[in-house]
Structure 1
Amino acid sequence: MTDQSPLRLAAQTAISQCMNLSADESCLIVTDDKRQPIGEALYDVACEITPDASIIRYPPSEQHGEEPAEPVATAMAAADVFLAPTTKSLSHTRARGSANDAGARGATLPGITEDVFVTGLDADYESIAEHSAAMLAQVKDATEIRVTSPQGTDITFEPGSREWFSDTGMVHEPGQFSNLPAGEVFVSPENVNGRYVVDGTMMPYGLLDDGQELVFEVEDGYVTSISDDDVRAQVENGAASVGQDAYNLAELGIGTNVGVSELVGSVLLDEKAAGTVHIAIGDDAGIGGDTDAPLHLDGILTEPTVYVDGEAIDLPQP
């Protein structure tokens, strides 16, 4: 009997709907020891579509944004399609960017768990694409984006010449890239000033406790103060190798996945939740910026108000 387990059904959505893999294309699955069941589920589905499917498994990286070994990067660039369910993110790596530049289309699934994989891929990605397009139209020409929240956030982003991106989960053209699960629009701003307060999800905690808040001060595009010792330690660890670049304010993202009705503690899924904003520290080289750093730390705000050139906009809602 054909396996119709939730894991397999999610893999079918990823391979067929999201990636649109065809029989004459090569497909590479990049995974690690801790994400092997998801990697193998994707590989099994890919093998049913194309004879040119392969899987690479390696030990988990220590940090999000850490470059994979050269053979992994080379294989990614040589594939028509790649998917990377890994413990630590490959999204913001030169390897991922170079693979897309070479014409590969790909999806990263950083920190994915089997529960998040099954939940996040049980979605109408055509609807997510529509909500993402509508949000992108509101922000793409903005000179200034201001975000406030009841928790005390008041921060202003200047995108400058940087391009906004839409992460829809529909990856059908050469060079395209998405996270899976998907659903956000985002930019790596040229300059940022203000304060933001994370009250949703952030590593190393996952979903924050009620009343727990992580406060960040930002000046001229760099984080100058972090209220939490454990988060600060992660950034300091990155700064040991790249200095101030570890404190770069890397990203403003707006969630557009209306299928995510509540936060679950996974940054990968929670940052896509409609009605939320996420702000990241560290690497932005893979999303239109110019900073290489061995970390990319997203923090999620659950009650943001977003102003585009002074006018409040409506955010998608679950």
Structure 2
Amino acid sequence: MTDHRTPAETAVRQCLNLAAEESCLVVTDDERAPIAEALYEVAGEITDDAVVTRYPPGETHGGEPPEPVAAAMAGADVVLAPTTKSLSHTRARTEANEAGARVATLPGITDEVFVAGLEADYEAIADHCETVHEQVTGADEIRVTTDRGTDVTFTVGDREFLEDTGIVHEPGDMSNLPAGEVFVSPSSADGTVVVDGTMRPHGLLEDDQAITLEFEDGLVTEISDPEIRETVEGAAEEVGDAAYNVAELGIGTNVGVTDLVGSVLLDEKAAGTIHVAIGDDAGIGGDTEAPIHLDGIVCEPTVEADGEEVTLPRAE
């Protein structure tokens, strides 16, 4: 049986820094209850105002939770959300942050990822985030290349690079747990991305499974994988070109992730990788709303900020 105690302690005490006078809401669904109970148990040792709310798993990542859950999120000081489908890119999460809540989402969290990703020193991860952030902040263009064929240039525009450090100590702070990335919602992208790490719904990709994404003027124009293409086209029937939007460029900084495991939540944080997302970016500094946010992880990239190579952290 998996011991959830240590990672739960890290999440509640180090990452969220829950205090005795604060309220804590753990949002979960029927498939993530054991992890939620571990978080609740630790929170309940700190504050008398700890609650678990549970609902059936959502249908899509970025789908809104039931209204009573959204209202409870906006009323809490601290929110932890181990859910099957991601609440990161939802109005409920955004509105909770705007109301002052500190929020940590744990989308698709599994026992393996919970233990592997949260038995880490998040103060050290925050330092790696800061080092990368300093190198990319202020750049107009970010170019990413790999030996597998990736050659893509992202236009930053007026968007800001953000840090997902896992340290969620100030009102309105938000992090994905496990954490460890520097990311931006670029204003545009042109070129080729060859995803050779992890991408939903396939998980960890084999050598012959690499997925090619072609971008032009900020939209993905070609997707080599039929299943992912069908997902994006289905979303486009609802929201049009928003489904094809280049939503995110992220740079992994979690040096504790030594191997990819097939979970986007963990693998996108791996130091020495980058990831690119398609779809919704409204919750991360962009202005596009879509019912999808699909991340693909790219291994062993070279990253340049306005022509200067960025020094990436590496797994310990």
TM-score when scaled to structure 1? 0.97
Distance, in Å, in 2 between the alignment partners of 1:17 and 1:295 is: 31
Distance in 2 of aligned mates of 1:25 and 1:241: 40
Q: Contact 2:198–2:296 (CA<8 Å) still a contact in 1?
A: yes
After superposition, where does 1:270-285 map in structure 2 within 5 Å?
Answer: 270-285=267-282
Q: 2:190 aligns with which of 193, 204, 209?
A: 193
Distance 2:147 2:61 in 1: 30
* Contact 2:2–2:111 (8 Å) recurs in 1: no
Indicate which of 248, 258, 261 corresponds to 1:261.
258
Q: Structure 2: any 5+ residue segments left out of the alignment?
A: none
Q: 1:213 aligns with which of 190, 210, 213?
A: 210
For 1:128 and 1:111, locate their aligned partners in 2 and report how far apart those are by CA, in whole Å.
21
| CA deviation profile, 1:98-127 (whole Å, cap 9, x unmatched) | 111110001000110011101111001111
Aligned residue among 117, 129, 134 for 2:131: 134
1:32 is aligned, of 29, 33, 46, to 29
Structure 2 counterpart of 1:107: 104
Q: Distance in 1 between matches of 2:59 and 2:83?
A: 11
Please provide the CA RMSD for this pair: 1.1
Deviation at 1:248? 0.6
- Shift, 1:5, TM fit: 6.7
Alpha-carbon offset, residue 9 of structure 1? 1.4
Q: Does 1:247 align with 2:241?
A: no
Within the candidate set 132, 148, 151, 2:148 is matched to 151
Residue 120 (structure 2) pairs with residue 120 (structure 1): no
Alpha-carbon deviation of 1:237?
Answer: 2.1
Do 2:136 and 2:310's aligned partners in 1 also have CA atoms closer than 8 Å? no
Question: Within 5 A, what are the aligned runs for 1:4-83?
Answer: 6-83=3-80
Is 1:299 the counterpart of 2:296? The answer is: yes
Q: Does 1:314 align with 2:311?
A: yes
Q: In the TM superposition, what whole-angstrom CA distance separates every residue of 1:158-181 from its partner, at most 9, and x where no partner exists?
A: 111111110000111100010100
Give 1:226's aligned residue.
Answer: 223
Equivalent pair of 2:132/2:310 in contact (CA under 8 Å):
no
- The amino acid across from 1:142 in the alignment is A
**Aligned partner of residue 31 in structure 2, secondary structure:** helix
Secondary structure in structure 2 of the residue aligned to 1:12: helix
**Tell me, what secondary structure is at the counterpart of 1:157?**
strand
Using the alignment, how far apart are the partners of 1:192 and 1:73 within structure 2?
Answer: 33
Q: CA separation in 2, counterparts of 1:40 and 1:208?
A: 32
Please state whether the residue corresponding to 2:214 is helix, strand or coil. strand
Letter aligned with residue 233 of structure 2: E
User: Would you say how many aligned residue pairs link Structure 1 and Structure 2?
Assistant: 315
Q: Which amino acid aligns with 1:315?
A: L
**Secondary structure in structure 2 of the residue aligned to 1:89:** coil
> Once the 2 structures are TM-superposed, how far is the Cα of residue 73 of structure 1 from its aligned partner?
1.1
In the superposition, the TM-score normalised over structure 2's length comes to 0.98
Q: Distance in 2 between matches of 1:238 and 1:5?
A: 37
Query: Within 2, Cα distance between the matches of 1:237 and 1:310?
Result: 37
Q: Which structure 1 residue ranges, 4+ long, deviate > 3 Å from structure 2?
A: none
**Percent of paired sites with the same residue:** 67
State the Cα deviation string for residues 131-187 of structure 1 (Å, max 9, x = none): 000000000111100001111111111111111110000111100010100000000
Once residues 278 and 72 of structure 1 are traced to their aligned partners in structure 2, the CA distance between those partners, rounded to angstroms, is 30
CA distance in 2, matches of 1:5, 1:202: 26
Identify the residue that residue 161 of structure 1 maps to in structure 2: 158
Q: CA deviation at 1:92?
A: 1.0
